[in-house]
A and B are shown apart, each in its own frame.
Chain A
């Protein structure tokens, strides 16, 4: 019998929700790291007991946490519980929280500034880790997407981090600018068919791809059109909110942009719009059914100035045709007086035979559908605002 573990990051701690394959009754564990912002929590695909978490605070900065027992206990990777807090040569540990931009001329082509909201140059400054993406093969390898936007990698289980500086240094970095939430690298997709290929996305710069394991990068934004920037079809400057991919069709990408839902059939080289009959094509999340690569999900949000569902009705929209033709999924979701948001990393799917779909809201609800979106029920209703949702299918 398979089990499901849902990893929920909120503004005030992390929660772990577990159920059997029926996904009817849930156990709720938490809050872990009570009072801290938990931006993202994600398990290793090859060792589900290995879970990485990003714990942040406006006061105290960035903490990386790791669990090796499925979330029962946690430690900072540089300072395991019960071990000496200094290395044999007397050096303090705590390196797992250290993210230092690469400024070496050889690797970083170092950049000193990006653009601020008003277009003026602003020095790069580390703020927090938005997203952690464990390797598809190695439990000790994990990628971190950070604000101000850059990609870091750890090859020792999160103990130390180094920047893949070819991304910032590829040439357009000086033109990047923050979205309203900050200049964050929020999406990291590892291609299961081509281990050298990684996709990332940055608000508000756009999507980027490497085909050599992270050494060199290029923008992949052709076909995106953003009316809110001086050149709507510019190479960079697009506010990409999230990107999703089905592992079986890794050249096909789906994107929820600030406005517009987009699709690429050539690994991001070109994009076309698939918003179709959506009532609004603004939103944050997008995800793909675990077994049907052409079935995708979005949660339309009214507008960029009104971050809540249209008409107070919380509706997931599903397309079974890879876009353009969308159906509203409402059964079990509030259809009046609902004014929550669903943030970019707050939707995930499980891989049980009947694909489960999950999302969390800024109102603290986590909804689950055990039947690919046909029906929904809240797992929990009153958590702090949900920042991220990830799902592990345990066999």
Chain B
């Protein structure tokens, strides 16, 4: 099971308590994780990737095993530890504040 850590606003929007565990078919990539996430929680469609182009929203980033994978190809395989479910895939909003 893939573990996904969401920003608090998206957890509340989808009614999720804690982190998410997902089954992902085929290679574990950013693309396949987001597809599985949106299929299970359709209310998140459009909140991470825009509806029209499927592009990442500019104030969100993705991390795996301590690495910033935001600008990697969305179809690039994620680290084995994420695919094995021992490390989570992080979706993180840019820090706001002053």
Contacts and interface: CB of A to CB of B under 8 A. Distances in A.
Contacts of A100: 51-52
B39 A92 contact: yes
Contacts of A34: 12
Given A97-B51, A98-B51, A100-B51, A60 B42 contact: no
Interface string B6-27: 0111101100000000000000
Contact of B46 (A35, A36, A59, A98): A98
Interface residues of A, number: 23
B23 to A, nearest CB: 15
Interface in A80-116: 85-86, 92-94, 97-100
Q: Which of B7, B48, B52 has the most CB of A within 10 A?
A: B52
Given A35-B9, A86-B39, A92-B39, A59 B59 contact: yes
A312 B8 CA distance: 39
A58 B45 CA distance: 15
B17 to A, nearest CB: 16
B42 A61 contact: no
Interface in B80-98: 93-94
Contacts of A44: none
Nearest to B45: A94
Contact of B9 (A60, A78, A93, A99): A60
* Interface size range on B against A: 20 to 34
B47 A61 contact: yes
A277 B55 CA distance: 52
Contact of B60 (A35, A59, A78, A97): A59
Interface in B54-71: 57, 59-60
Interface of B: 7-10, 12-13, 38-48, 50-52, 57, 59-60, 93-94
28 contacts: A34-B12, A35-B12, A58-B59, A59-B7, A59-B9, A59-B60, A59-B94, A60-B7, A60-B9, A60-B10, A60-B93, A61-B47, A61-B57, A62-B46, A63-B43, A76-B43, A78-B42, A79-B43, A85-B40, A85-B41, A92-B38, A93-B43, A94-B43, A97-B45, A97-B46, A97-B47, A98-B45, A100-B51
The 3 closest A-B pairs by CB, nearest first: A94-B45, A94-B42, A60-B47
Interface of A: 34-36, 57-63, 76, 78-79, 85-86, 92-94, 97-100, 126
Given A57-B47, A59-B60, A63-B47, 16 more contacts: A35-B12, A59-B94, A60-B7, A60-B13, A60-B93, A79-B43, A85-B40, A85-B41, A92-B38, A92-B42, A93-B42, A94-B42, A94-B45, A97-B43, A97-B47, A98-B45
